[in-house]
Every structure is written in structure tokens, then in C-alpha cells.
Amino acid sequence: MGAGKKEISRGFLMGRGLFVLLAMIAVCQTAEADQLSAQDLGKDHYLSYGCALCHGLNGDGKGIKSQQYVPPPTNFHDLKAYLHGQDKGSIRRSIMYGIKEDNSIMPAFEDIPAEEVDQMISYLQSLQKS
């Protein structure tokens, strides 16, 4: 193979490698954007379904109705406050079926579409990290 063909071949491989790298970066950014949008949608659902009335606008457990309840509504920023579990399945059960034990009166929200529940869970779990 001549010197010119080696240069073309090397340039092609470098260009191809650069393309693959850029494609991988784009995929990672898209996945991150999807995650952010799920959290944003989750916050919108959290607010629209009235969760903030008890759990607070920012999920701190200090909503306008929070002082009426013993035990108080969950502060989603405090991992110790998740008395019924902080994992996705536990949060899903709490939302869908409510909590009627330990004097809690968390109502059931069985009619919320599964996708919206997933988005709310994404939002609530993002609060665990803040």
C-alpha cells in the first residue's frame, strides 16, 4: 500500500473514531435529558395531584395541611423519613395504595397512569439526593 493510501486509511479511521465518540456523547446527553424531563414531569404531576398540600412545595413535608397529621407527611429529602421504603417499588405502593397503618392517612391514588407515577417517583428520588 502506498503512502497516500495509508494516509487516507488512517484519516478515515480517525474520522470514524471521532464520529463514534461524538455519537456516544450524544446518546449520553439524550439519556440525561430524558431523565431530567422525567423529573420535571414528575414534579408537575406531584403539584397537579395535590401532593404539595401535605408534603410541601419542595417535598420537605411542610405543606399547608401537614400540621393536621400525626405522623407528619414524609419529608422526601430525609431518607430516614421514608417509613415505608425509599425504593421505587415502595414509593409506587405508597402512591397507588396509600398508607393506612401507623396512624397515617396517606390516600390512595389508584387512577394515576403508571407513566405519571414513574415520573413522580423519579422526581421524589431526585429529592433524596438534594
Give the class (CATH, top level) of 3-128: mainly alpha
CA distance 34 to 36: 5
Whether the model pTM is above 0.85: no
| pLDDT of amino acid 23 | 57
What does the block give as the cell for 49?
Answer: 395531584
| pLDDT of amino acid 94 | 95
pLDDT > 90: what percent of the chain? 59
| pLDDT of amino acid 129 | 73
Under-50 pLDDT residues of the chain: 12
| pLDDT of amino acid 26 | 57
The full set of domain ranges for the chain reads: 3-128
Closest CA to 91 of 76, 71, 72: 76
